[in-house]
Structure 1
Amino acid sequence: MTIPKHDGTFAHHTGAQDMRMQGKVAVVTGAASGIGKEIARTFVREGARVAIADLNQQGADATAEELGGAGVAAGVAMDVTDEQQVEAGIAKSLEVFGRIDVLVSNAGIQTVFPIEDFPFAKWKQLLAIHLDGAFLTTRAVLRHMYARGGGGSIIYMGSVHSKEASPLKAPYVTAKHGLIGLAKVVAKEGAAHGVRANVICPGFVRTPLVDKQIPEQAKELGISEADVVKDVMLKDTVDGEFTTVEDVAAAALFFAGFETNALTGQSLVVSHGWFMQ
């Protein structure tokens, strides 16, 4: 199969044995665990070298070692809400690997309250991690991509809540909608430099972030934890199944390896049919 690249040349792919990320370097935030870790694992398997950026330096180092260690993966301490830490973390990634071809802005948290009870500090914390973090990491990586002559992929971890709303999640829904807007602007500005931007919008993925929500929502809604899963989280899927980290990583690989502007600015829902466009 012949695939057009952003520079007008063509790469020839002969089949499944080809590694779609060969020679590329990715930075994945929130990659010490969960979705970010699986994306990093998938990228390494496909030939990439990966900076495992995470608030948890010990966890980032352990994941980097698990994925291949020096020369393949490196742990990078990064609080994505801290401008200096983001700049330092991207600088370290460049020092270790020499280039960055892909950014996956994945770091995130979840907090649930009814709007009338939502603590302002919690609102600001969630928006900072999801939106400030996406902006700061994007800005730092774009400067490098532009300076080296262009080319690259920026991938944001949105959610079905980038398209849809649920009770108790006002800042999360707001932030995830915001990432769609940011990606569209990056797509417009980055096009002249061969930089694409996309958003992955997963449904509920069984990670510690989701597991934490189950008892919280059960308490707020006055229903059992089993009913939260069946009647809240998975009620609109076609098969009653959680989205898996592997599902989301496959979508990230698809966007990272799609080297034309044909799909830039687009979002992809990965949700077992929960939300259909």
Structure 2
Amino acid sequence: MEQITDMARFENRIALVTGAASGIGKRLAERFAAEGAVAVIADLKLDAAQATADEIVAKGGKAYAVVMDVSEEEQVGKAIDEVVAHFGRIDVLVSNAGIQIVKPLVDFGFGDWKKILAIQLDGAFLTTRACLPHMYKAGYGRVVYVGSVHSKEASKLKAAYVTAKHGLIGLAKVLAKEGAEHNVAANVVCPGFVRTPLVEKQIPEQASELGMSEQDVVRTVMLKDTIDGQFTTVDEVADMVLFYASASSVAHSGQSAVVSHGWFMQ
């Protein structure tokens, strides 16, 4: 993480990011902190969340760690209550936590289906619902869902993930309509393939399922429709997340932005 700078786009804002102990979520938390926010690191493992918070603080930022299984209603409520008790409010929610299971639809276990939807979609709903009373009371809130190109498009082997990511767009549109009178905006950022541990895990899995080499999975599956053959970077995703999170009004609400090196064009 870079040293904290004079940029203060989020000065004194409380920005909660789920799944923030690693990958995209960690970088989002670092970027919020670098621009003045208190980055609330919500993750399944408290020790990992605390480690990320400690890294941010060591660089001069402000951070706070909470344990949160986004698929567990009671735990989500408890974590949000803890944050509000500590800071008085939550200004920004970034719903980022997610997993991936790669299998053909014909072989996709119902348990795996429910697990993905519980984390990707139920988690977005539960964290949003828990934050909204506080945002409504404050008359301010910015909610950003980390979707995917798979919020717009489909790929083989990803039935549950594609379904869940499509659902985030619908959730954001409803919240945009309901939240506008309270100055609460909701949007979705849709990255292409970002080389996080989640994607690294998929490469050998897809190679096995599709009967091809890992190099061919990257070249002919993951990046074949990009304009430059490049993975999306975590900072490219963060640029758009922070854009939506910093919006001065609800003019940008109910929208979705694709960050995919041209893989999907609107």
Tell me the TM-score normalised to structure 2 length: 0.96
Say what the alpha-carbon RMSD is for the aligned residues.
1.3
Between the aligned partners of 1:18 and 1:41, the Cα distance in structure 2 is: 13
User: How do residues 83-122 of structure 1 correspond to structure 2 at under 5 angstroms?
Assistant: 83-122=73-112
Q: 1:18 to 1:61 in 2, by over 3 A?
A: closer
Q: CA deviation at 1:71?
A: 8.2
Q: CA deviation at 1:144?
A: 0.8
Between the aligned partners of 2:83 and 2:62, the Cα distance in structure 1 is: 12
Alignment partner of 1:135 out of 120, 125, 129: 125
Identity %: 64
| Kept in 2: contact 1:64–1:75 (CA 8 A) | yes
User: How do residues 118-267 of structure 1 correspond to structure 2 at under 5 angstroms?
Assistant: 118-148=108-138, 150-267=139-256
Q: CA deviation at 1:50?
A: 1.4
| Kept in 1: contact 2:33–2:61 (CA 8 A) | no
| Kept in 1: contact 2:14–2:89 (CA 8 A) | yes
Alignment partner of 2:36 out of 40, 43, 47: 47
| Kept in 1: contact 2:34–2:61 (CA 8 A) | no
Deviations 1:102-158 (A, max 9, x none): 00000000001101100110000000001110000000100111123x111000010
Between the aligned partners of 1:39 and 1:19, the Cα distance in structure 2 is: 15
Amino acid at match of 1:112: V
Between the aligned partners of 1:53 and 1:95, the Cα distance in structure 2 is: 15
| Kept in 1: contact 2:140–2:182 (CA 8 A) | yes
| Kept in 2: contact 1:49–1:97 (CA 8 A) | no
Between the aligned partners of 2:254 and 2:148, the Cα distance in structure 1 is: 15
| Kept in 1: contact 2:94–2:144 (CA 8 A) | yes
| Kept in 2: contact 1:161–1:176 (CA 8 A) | yes
SS at match of 1:262: coil
Between the aligned partners of 1:124 and 1:227, the Cα distance in structure 2 is: 30
| Gapped regions of structure 2 (runs ≥ 5) | none
Between the aligned partners of 2:64 and 2:8, the Cα distance in structure 1 is: 20
Query: 229-238 vs 139-148, which deviates more?
Result: 139-148
SS at match of 2:153: coil
Q: CA deviation at 1:95?
A: 2.0
Q: CA deviation at 1:18?
A: 3.8
Tell me the TM-score normalised to structure 1 length: 0.92
- Corresponding residue for residue 72 of structure 1: 62
Q: CA deviation at 1:185?
A: 0.2
Between the aligned partners of 2:145 and 2:195, the Cα distance in structure 1 is: 19
Deviations 1:15-54 (A, max 9, x none): x954211121111000000000000000000000011000
Deviations 1:186-235 (A, max 9, x none): 00000000000000000000000000000000000000000000000000
SS at match of 2:57: coil
Equivalenced residues, count: 261
- Corresponding residue for residue 4 of structure 1: none
| Gapped regions of structure 1 (runs ≥ 5) | 1-15
Between the aligned partners of 1:265 and 1:93, the Cα distance in structure 2 is: 26
